[in-house]
Every structure is written in structure tokens, then in C-alpha cells.
A = this chain, B = another copy of it.
Amino acid sequence: MPDPAPALLDALAARLGSAHVLRAPDDMAPHLAETRGLYRGRALAVVRPADTAEVAAVVRACAEAGVPVVAQGGNTGLVGGGVPFGGLVLSLARLDRVRAVDPANATLTVEAGCILARVQEAAEAAGLLFPLSLASEGSCRIGGNLSTNAGGTAVLAYGNARDLVLGLEVVLADGRVWNGLKALRKDNAGYDLKHLFIGSEGTLGIITAAVLKLHPRPASTATAFVGLASAQAALALFTRLRDRAGGRLTAFEYIPPFGLDIVLRHAPGAVRPLDGDHGAYALVEVSAETPEAGPALEALLGDALEDGLAEDAVVARSAAQGRALWRLRESLSDVQRREGASIKHDVSVPVSRTAAFLERATAACEAELPGVRVCAFGHLGDGNIHFNLSQPVGMEAAAFLALWPRFNRIVHDIVHAMNGSIAAEHGVGLIKRDELPRYADPVALDLMRRLKQALDPQGLLNPGKVVAVGEAPGGVDAAVGPSFG
């Protein structure tokens, strides 16, 4: 059979304009690597359709030619889900319009290529809030957020990305367009299709637009930094605050002493928030529909101190102070690099087991490698811990990184024993694809494969990601690089 690629690329150049079919290595390079340098992919070309009809035309042409398609938004993913191994990269970046704003319905209709920060701004301009918030919000695109069911810091009060979606427009594997752009709070007219595409990482269809659910903007927000005796105390404080503050508790982030130490050591301008040292720390945020978030948070923490649930606490006196406290939490990932190589795990357990998980996994890792420095932090209120390990001081980085499969096994085994998830908010992509069959219910895996087969029988949409069906793309294992998420 002749190579279908040249004819396909010529046809696409004729359809999209040759400026939107990138073939030069320099033009393609940013689309072939990913954030952490773990994988280096390859592609025939990067195509940049302008609208849904052009996306459909590209996918239809690929289906006819038997050529794979990897959808990309901002290419900020952390699990290699957007790396191509042959075929076309389909960039959604040009589909970046806000199609509709309906303040009375509290909805936005946006195209997949909208940058998350622009979506947040469009909501704000309508007097409302789009709560999804991530470190990469200035460059990630909403289509990627939805196709990976992104998490972030606002999940506690507002849910994951999927909880913020009312409707979708999706290009299917054969190039047909499903118009599911409903803006309804209640709709039981048949099976729920949107949840199938959200979180499927571009393997079942390509999201081209979405109706997003907005929330009222809180009138006030207050932030505090709390010193605690231990992870168990952090959990006890969380349940107390959740039960008393309800939906007003908008963040509860766990920070270990080692984490605070390295932030204070490396982050520019970081200031010690509390005088003494504590066994654990929490960043707490309360939001209110009235101006009273500050007094409410002070009263809640005052009671907690009195009852011995917390050891010390400071409530930000200004928005600037609040942002400074948030920066302590947000700089954690960055400053970890300054302490050498790291091995990372994005995992979740039931909230009630977070403290036990932290204790058990820390002890197991320290027993495996004396001197390893556990930097486990994150969204304790969601049960989602970024269980990261920093290399022992003075160890060779490469020697440490060679241990990653052993640490993956130790940490994931404990997560599994606690009925947790080895892929909490970053997804499966490539990096966890071969871990999934080890831990997933075999019936669940079979169902996933059947869904893939039903929706993408040729296996052309982002092949080899999430669920391996048939042959995996080459070069995956060999491509694994310096750190692991």
C-alpha cells in the first residue's frame, strides 16, 4: 500500500491553508515534547484547524487514510498524554472564541482552545466565577482541562473540571460532530455522553467546545496558615472546618515541615508565616457571600486553637498577605527542583485515610532508602496528595532516579491497599498506562476497552494512551527521562 501521508498532508494544506499544516522541525518541536522532558515524540505534521468544521475535516481525512490524530491544547499535561508517536498533532489553539455568555443562566459557551485564564476573565466580566484554577492557567487550554478532567485548588468547594460542564461539542473518530452543547441543569434525555469524553484524554473523541457552569463570585475571601502537631491533626482540623463551614471552606492544602523549609530556603521573598516549628501545616481559605469571610475564619480557627486541634495560626490581614500565604503553597513544586532529583506520585485516598497514608508511605519510603526526603503535600481536603520524594543529600541524581520503579511500586501498592487511585488529578496518559492494568479492576479495564472499541474502532485517536488496545506505539518505554509523576 502506498504511504497515505503525502496525499493527506496536501489535501489538508488545501483545506486549512498551508500556513496551518506545520511540517518544519522547528515549527513542530514544541508539539513533540512535553513539560517535564520525559518523552520526545514524532509526527507527520502539526495541523491547526480554525473551527469545528475544519477539525471534523481533519479527523475524517485521517480516518479515511488510517492516520492517527493526537489532540493538543496548551500541551501542559504532566503524564505524556499529548505526546504523538506518529500521525498528526491536531492543535485546538485557533478555536479560542467565547461563543456565548448567559449571566442569568450562569453559563459560558467556549471553544476548546480558550486559555483557562481567559475563561476565568470572561466569567468575571459577566459578574460570575469560573472556579477551575491550576498552576498552568495562563497557558493551558480549556479543551485540555476537560479532556483530562483537571483538578486544582478549587475542587473542595466546586468539584473537578467535569463538575463544571453542562454540555459539549465533540468531533468523533469518524469525523462526525456530536452537538451536545446543552446549557441545562437537568437533562435525562438518554445516556450521559459528555462524561464519557471528559477525562478520556482525547482517546474517544476530540472536544471542540463546551458549555461551562459558572458560580456566584464570593463577596469576601480569607486565608490562613495553620501550624499543627501532625498529619492526623491536619485531618482532624479539616473535618472540623468542613462540618462547620460547609461550602464556605474553599481550600485546605497540606504542607509538610520539609516543604515549608525548602520554600523558605529557595522561594524569592518567602517569609516564615508562623514563629515556631510544627509537625504539619495547612493553608486554609474560607469564602463568603457576605463581607464576613475574615471574621468567620478567625472564629473557626479560634475555636480550633482553644480545643487543641491547632497549635498556631495566622489569618491574612490583607489581600496581599493572603496572596503571600498562597505563594508558599504554590512554590512547592518549583523549589523542589532546587533540592535535586525528585520522584513524584499524584495519588488519592479517601479523605479519612490521608493521615494514615502519609504516615505509612513515608515510613515505607524512608525504610527503602534512608535519607530520602519525603515532600508530600497537596489537596488534603480532596484526599489528593502529591507524594513526592526528594533525593538524599549528596546522592547521585541518576542513581536516585533509577529507583523510581521501586518507589512507584511501594507508593502505589499502599494507595491500592487503601482503595485509592494511582492517577488522581493529572490523568493516566503514557506515564501510568502500564500501571493501570496492575491496579484497576479487570472488569473495569475490559469495559474501558469495549468503549474504546465502540467509539474508535480503528484506534486512531491518541493511540496508546490511557488504555492500551492492540499494539502500543513504539518508543514509549525507551523515552522515559529524568523524573516521574
Contact = CB atoms under 8 A, between A and B. Distances in A.
Contacts of A432: 189
A34 interface: no
A420 B167 CA distance: 12
Given A189-B421, A289-B248, A349 B242 contact: no
A311 interface: no
A298 to B, nearest CB: 14
Contact of A244 (B289, B419, B455): B289
Contacts of A455: 447, 450
B199 A192 contact: yes
A444 interface: yes
Given A178-B444, A184-B420, A191-B200, 13 more contacts: A102-B350, A105-B353, A148-B188, A178-B447, A184-B424, A187-B424, A188-B424, A189-B432, A189-B436, A191-B199, A216-B242, A245-B289, A451-B451
B106 A186 contact: no
B447 A193 contact: yes
Interface of A: 102-107, 127-128, 148-149, 151, 155-156, 159-160, 162-163, 172, 176-193, 195-196, 198-200, 204, 215-216, 218, 235, 239, 242-248, 289-290, 296, 348-353, 379, 381-384, 419-428, 432, 436, 439-441, 443-445, 447-448, 450-451, 453-455, 466-467
A172 B443 contact: yes
B351 A104 contact: yes
6 contacts: A149-B192, A159-B163, A182-B421, A186-B348, A186-B384, A216-B244
A185 B379 CA distance: 10
A440 B239 contact: no
Contacts of A445: 190
Nearest to A445: B190
A202 to B, nearest CB: 12
Nearest to A167: B419
A428 B128 CA distance: 33
A187 to B, nearest CB: 4
Contact of A423 (B189, B195, B289): B189
Contacts of A186: 151, 155, 160, 348, 379, 382-384, 421, 424-425
